[in-house]
């Protein structure tokens, strides 16, 4: 029995597998992954030394927990495979004591399913697998691929505390993760941390372009912008002060920072950010409604 299986072996799955094995949370022999793409399977097997297969059902059959890492448009096919595992005639096993073959039954409660399929609700899984299904839905983000991810997760009624702790352990291997008590909060998580990296990229690009307009060479402007973001982030983590107080300390009266902050305020910067996050959250809700 494998400890964890991956249905879908794309970039996020690869990042998780690498984080789990490099962090010695699991051995490669503990893991299995399925993917429809032969080249992808070969790549994952070569890079990460884990078992791979083209058969989703084989993953469910072999792994105690299954992480579903497919695109939303593929979820229908995956759910059909999952349902087939629990409704089709079970495979036979050898009953050693009796010297004959007996059917092996697999109940839905025997497996934990962890989904990172964007916009696919817990209800979608429960409608196929039933109310006793142990399902955890997770919203990770792209920085998990460099070990600096942020994930929010919520469990279906059939998932227990151990299931949630197991999922938290997985995603903390590639950054940080928090458990939520309501599924609808994942829309806000999506708008903040899920889409958030793009907001930072946009801000860095704007800073860089503005500095170039002031005369700095592009490469130097980009280097300085990135280090400024990194330094400010680390300062915030280490300081007991909140963001407003840190801004007050940096913005000397009549100085350059105060002039810049006044320009931000005059352009409605906080309202623009709020509008962007609200738009992302609403789009997440729309995707969840199908």
CATH of the domain at 97: 3.40.50.720
Cβ neighbours for 9, distance < 8 A, ≥ 6 positions apart: 33, 34, 35, 37, 40, 41, 44, 52, 69
pLDDT for res 107: 86
* pLDDT of 287: 84
Residue 252, both tokens: 């000397």
- Per the structure, the count of domains in the chain is 2
Say if 186 falls within a structural domain: no
Q: How high is the mean pLDDT of the chain?
A: 92
Which pLDDT belongs to residue 100? Answer: 47
Q: Are residues 173 and 236 in the same domain?
A: no
For residues 232 and 98, state if they share a domain: no
Q: What is the mean pLDDT of residues 3-30?
A: 95
Are 175 and 203 members of one domain?
Answer: no
Query: If we measure between CA atoms, which residue out of 84, 89, 82 comes closest to residue 112?
Result: 82
| Predicted structure pTM score | 0.88
Does residue 165 form part of some domain? Answer: yes
pLDDT score at 85: 87
The secondary structure element, H or E, covering residue 7 is: strand 4-7
Q: Is residue 48 part of a domain?
A: yes
Q: Name the more confident of 290 and 21.
A: 21
**Co-location of 37 and 159 in the same domain:** yes
Name the percent of the chain lying above pLDDT 90.
Answer: 86
Mean pLDDT lowest among 20-34, 98-112, 131-145, 152-166: 98-112
pLDDT in tens, 220-245: 999 999 999 999 999 999 999 999 99
Residue 244 falls within a domain, yes or no? yes
173 has pLDDT over 70: yes
Residue 109 structure tokens: 């409660």
Q: How confident is the model at residue 44 (pLDDT cuts 50, 70, 90)?
A: very high
Residue numbers of the domain that contains 245: 196-288
Phi first, then psi: what are they for 178, rounded to 5°? -135, 150
Residues 128 and 29 in one domain: yes
- 22 with 134, same domain: the answer is yes
CA distance 173 to 55: 26
Helix and strand counts by DSSP (H, E) for the chain: 12, 10
User: Picking from 90-104, 161-175, 209-223, 265-279, which range would have the lowest pLDDT averaged per residue?
Assistant: 90-104
Q: How far apart are CA 246 and CA 209, in angstroms?
A: 25
What mean pLDDT do residues 132-139 have?
96
pLDDT for res 31: 97
* Percent of the chain clearing pLDDT 70 (strictly above): 94
> Tell me, what's the pLDDT at 88?
58
| Per-residue pLDDT reduced to its tens digit, 84-131 | 888 754 554 444 444 544 445 688 889 999 999 988 999 999 999 999
Instruction: Output the domain CATH number for residue 233.
Output: 1.10.3730.10
């Amino acid at each position: 029995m494998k400890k964890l299986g991956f249905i879908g072996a794309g970039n996020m799955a690869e990042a998780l597998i690498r984080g789990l094995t490099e962090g010695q949370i699991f051995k490669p022999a503990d893991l299995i992954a399925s993917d429809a793409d032969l080249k992808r399977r070969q790549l994952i097997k070569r890079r990460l030394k884990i078992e791979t297969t083209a058969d989703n059902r084989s993953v469910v059959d072999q792994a105690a927990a299954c992480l579903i890492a497919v695109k939303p448009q593929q979820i229908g096919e995956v759910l059909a495979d999952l349902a087939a595992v629990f409704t089709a005639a079970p495979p036979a096993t050898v009953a050693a004591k009796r010297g004959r073959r007996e059917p092996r039954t697999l109940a839905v409660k025997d497996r934990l399913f962890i989904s990172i399929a964007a916009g696919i609700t817990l209800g979608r899984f429960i409608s196929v697998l039933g109310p006793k299904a142990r399902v955890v839905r997770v919203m990770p983000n792209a920085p998990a691929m460099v070990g600096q991810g942020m994930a929010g997760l919520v469990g279906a009624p059939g998932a227990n505390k151990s299931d949630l702790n197991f999922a938290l352990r997985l995603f903390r291997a590639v950054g940080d993760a928090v458990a939520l008590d309501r599924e609808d909060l994942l829309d806000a998580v999506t708008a903040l941390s899920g889409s958030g990296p793009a907001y930072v990229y946009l801000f860095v690009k704007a800073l860089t372009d503005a500095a170039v307009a002031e005369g700095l060479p592009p490469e130097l402007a980009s280097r300085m912008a990135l280090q400024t973001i990194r330094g400010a982030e680390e300062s915030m983590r280490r300081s007991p002060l909140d963001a407003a107080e840190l801004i007050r300390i940096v913005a000397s009266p009549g100085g350059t920072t105060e002039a810049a902050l006044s320009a931000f305020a005059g352009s409605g910067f906080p309202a623009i950010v709020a509008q962007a996050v609200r738009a992302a959250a609403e789009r997440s809700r729309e995707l969840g409604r199908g």
